[in-house]
Amino acid sequence: MAIEKTFVMVKPDGVQRGLIGEIVSRFERKGLKLVGAKLMSVSQQLAEQHYAEHKERPFFGELVQFITSSPVFAMVWEGENAVSVARTMMGKTNPAESAPGTIRGDFGLTIGMNIIHGSDSPESADREIALWFGNEALSYDKAVDVWVG
């Protein structure tokens, strides 16, 4: 048993296209538990910290511009192997290569606007949850927990 928390964010394109509900619904139906959520504007500083690992990449400026251009919906989801489960549900980084049935595969077309972010490892999840939520994420029991493992 490895109960993990992961940071997931509907990016500005997903919010603008009205996909928050669809995405939340997919994670809920999967059996993950929502332990934090907020619609928010992203400052330049937060965007640069979040994507610090990419700061030398040629697309960094565009990425920061995009993520700060309109509100995002930031979430923390919890459950067994939540980090890798969420990544699998999202699909590959490039929506053109993401399998149908995944979020990017079903709703995305280009890598620059790929709808959703999810932490790529438990270590990244810890860092990103601390960055976006501090200690705001909740801890609570749901009666259905015993039926989803």
Instruction: Identify whether the C-beta of residue 7 lies closer than 8 Å to the C-beta of residue 126.
Output: no
Active site residue 54: no
Residue 24, binding choice from Mg ion, ligand DAT, none, Cβ under 5 to 8 Å by partner class: none
- What token pair was written down for 13? 């394109």
**Stretch 75-104 residues interacting with ligand DAT (CB under 6 A):** 93
Residue 114, binding choice from ligand DAT, Mg ion, none, Cβ under 5 to 8 Å by partner class: ligand DAT
**Stretch 27-56 residues interacting with ligand DAT (CB under 6 A):** 54
| Residue given tokens 């700061």 in the structure block | 55
Does the annotation list 102 as a binding residue?
no
- Distance, CA of 70 to CA of 68 (rounded, Å): 6
Give the distance from CA 136 to its chain's centroid: 16
Mark residues 110-139: x for contact with Mg ion by CB under 5 A, - for none. Answer: ----------x-------------------
> Binder to ligand DAT among 21, 61, 112, 149 (CB under 6 A)?
112
Instruction: Identify whether the C-beta of residue 77 lies closer than 8 Å to the C-beta of residue 32.
Output: yes
- Distance, CA of 140 to CA of 60 (rounded, Å): 37
CA-nearest of 55, 73, 62 to 11 is: 73
**Stretch 41-70 residues interacting with Mg ion (CB under 5 A):** none
Q: Which residues are near ligand DAT by CB under 6 A?
A: 54, 59, 63, 93, 111-112, 114, 117, 120
For the annotated binding site for ATP, the residues are: 11, 59, 87, 93, 104, 114
Residues designated as active site: 117
